[in-house]
Chains A and B, each alone.
Chain A
Amino acid sequence: MSNEARLSRRGLMARLLAGAGVVALAGCEKLSETTWFPRVLGLGEKVTYGVHRLILPRKAMAQEFTEADLSPDFRGNGTLMPNNPAYQALAAGSFADYRLEVGGLVQRPAAFSLAELRKLPSRAQITRHDCVEGWSAIGLWKGARLGALLEAVGLKPEARYVVFHCADPMEDDGTSPYYESVDLEDAFHPQTILAYDLNGKPLPIRNGAPLRLRLERQLGYKMAKYVMRLEVVADLSRIAGGKGGYWEDQGYEWYAGI
């Protein structure tokens, strides 16, 4: 082959390579906007969930810290004051009228006042809060063990998930209340608590007063704040967007272990 022919073949190849790069990048943007491709990418979450459940012992504990590690000022993130008159009325009365409703696939639906929640078996733990954005903060949390609360109301055999319905609307017009869900393995984990205290004081409003979930082996967005009602369900598909949580309905992973 002559040098000229080789050079032109190389020139063509270089242009093809550069073109392929541009097409690939533009293609990635287009792919992100289809419905099917993010679903394919979502296989990563299924593999992660499966592998984590396989290699992590059920009761494997998240790291706990000492008082020396506490963040001087535990950051509030997301909603800092729910835009919800009913909630604000409860807050004005120091949550004296607050009742946590527990229903769905349970034997004995119930409502718990804060005083009753404080009488349930509790746990205090100094743990690290990891936000999906990347930052971490360390706090001392005390709350009722979710497993003990679920045992108190009794689960029906078809129960699979616990859904947390919250007081904070995510839309400016007061709609789209925040919600979250966990499977029973996480619900009965010893560090999974409904926290009412942060750093030895009642939970501040910006951190989710009067009650928030602590789910120490997953990311922050799973730990619903302003929890008003627990609903035990067999599947998540008929609640809101059907993905098991407010952020999940926006495309975030339901399993937030990584």
Chain B
Amino acid sequence: MENFRRIMARGSAYGRQALLALAEYGRSALLGAGRLVRKSGAALRSGLERAREALRRAAPGGYLYYRHPLPVRIMHWCNVLLLATLLMSGLNIFNAHPALYWGRQSYDGAPPILEVVGRQSGAGELSGVTRLFGHDFTTTGFLGASVDPSGEMAERGFPSWLTLPDWQWLAMARRWHFFAAWLFVVNGLAFVAFAVASGHLRRDLLPTGRDLRATGKTIVAHLRFRHPRGEAARQYNVLQKGAYLAVIFCLLPLMILMGLGMSPAMDATSPGWVDAFGGRQSVRTIHFVVAWMLVLFVLVHVFMVIVSGFWNNLRSMITGNYRIHPEADHEQ
């Protein structure tokens, strides 16, 4: 009866819609009372549950839906820190030899696919040049030549604001990179274990038949920037599921595998496996390209977070609670 009183008190504030909820409660409770003879509490509880649900849906400001469990939130923010560390230390490592090749080695006679160099002009002016498939682009200030942490123009691949450490320091960058890489692997395995054991994978991430059939509609809705805010926002849409699954089960494992493919020790686990990806220098190139594919994913992800309700999304990844606006499906 404690619940009944609470519902009464809150219901009055919510007005007419709440009265409907009360009526629903009354109906359920009456029906429940009839069954009470045979089965005690259960029916009453289900009536209460239905009433609460109706009340929640009737609330004018919507209601909070517990969307992200604590382990997922912790692992998500660990990923933010670790991926940022891996990217920035990785770019510092790249700067030690800012060129990419295809094949088993770097010096088979073929020019690099990508090369970032600093060039000194006759007047002593330093300019940055990026050579991609034989085409030169001037990239002074960003690639090839940029301002170092002391404020001097210097020859370097990626600029200091994108690298960790900011100075060109291969030994320290490697320490950051491998330390973060191990934590990232542990975090990733923990996520997969949790996602499988808790049903997160099956319930929230794997697309259903209905999802797949709605793919076309979902694409159109995305192109029109119409994002579900009501009940439909309780589930990820098919494009979201696809993107998350591709990153979790394709790009990130590929990233780790290509990292291992650069290791002369891991190369010896089964001599020749690296050739399946084109050889060690190809593996290094793939590692670099996939890193930028992950950056692209993060940019799109953050963009979608912003346009589909930034604070609501951010809160749900901090406290777990996501506000559902029942009357507001597909409304900006």
Contacts and interface: CB of A to CB of B under 8 A. Distances in A.
Interface of A: 10, 25, 28-29, 32, 38, 40-45, 47-48, 52, 55-56, 60-65, 69, 71-75, 128, 130-138, 216-219, 247, 250-253, 257-258
Contact of B265 (A38, A137, A251, A257): A257
Contact of A136 (B96, B104, B166): B104
5 contacts: A60-B268, A63-B275, A132-B174, A219-B264, A253-B175
Given A62-B271, A63-B272, A135 B97 contact: yes
A137 B279 CA distance: 12
Contact of A128 (B97, B104, B178, B265): B104
A219 to B, nearest CB: 6
Nearest to A73: B107
B12 interface: no
B265 A218 contact: yes
Contacts of B262: 130, 258
Contact of A130 (B93, B175, B264, B272): B264
Interface in B80-96: 85, 93-94, 96
B182 A138 contact: no
A44 B181 contact: yes
Nearest to B179: A44
A72 B264 CA distance: 22
Given A44-B175, A253-B174, A136 B268 contact: no
A55 B105 contact: no
A48 B165 CA distance: 22
Given A10-B311, A63-B267, A217-B268, A134 B107 contact: no
A71 B94 contact: no
Nearest to A137: B107
Chief secondary structure at chain B's binding surface: helix
B182 A63 contact: no
Contacts of B124: none
B220 to A, nearest CB: 31
Given A133-B96, A136-B106, A218 B264 contact: yes
A72 B107 contact: yes
B266 A47 contact: no
B175 A63 contact: no
B170 interface: yes
B176 A257 contact: no
Given A28-B176, A131-B97, A134-B97, 8 more contacts: A29-B166, A45-B178, A60-B268, A62-B268, A63-B268, A130-B264, A137-B107, A251-B171
Given A52-B265, A218-B264, A136 B176 contact: no
A22 to B, nearest CB: 11
A56 B93 CA distance: 26
Nearest to B288: A134
B181 A71 contact: no
B269 A55 contact: yes
Interface string B173-187: 011101101100000
A191 to B, nearest CB: 9
A217 B268 CA distance: 7
Contacts of A52: 265-266
A75 B106 CA distance: 10
Contact of A133 (B164, B170, B267): B170
Contacts of A218: 264-265
Contacts of B275: 63
Ranked nearest first, the 4 interchain pairs of A and B with the lowest CB-CB distance are A257-B265, A251-B171, A44-B179, A258-B263
A128 B109 CA distance: 15
Nearest to A63: B271
Contacts of B272: 63
A140 B244 CA distance: 46
Contact of B264 (A135, A216, A252): A216
B281 interface: yes
Contacts of A132: 96, 170, 174
Contacts of A60: 268-269
Contacts of A25: 164
B274 A63 contact: yes
B316 to A, nearest CB: 14
Contact of A56 (B101, B174, B179, B265): B265
B284 interface: yes
Contacts of B175: 38, 41-42, 44-45, 251, 253
A14 B3 CA distance: 38
A135 B106 contact: yes
Interface in B90-135: 93-94, 96-97, 99, 101, 104-109
B325 interface: no
A199 B169 CA distance: 33
A123 to B, nearest CB: 15
Nearest to B108: A71
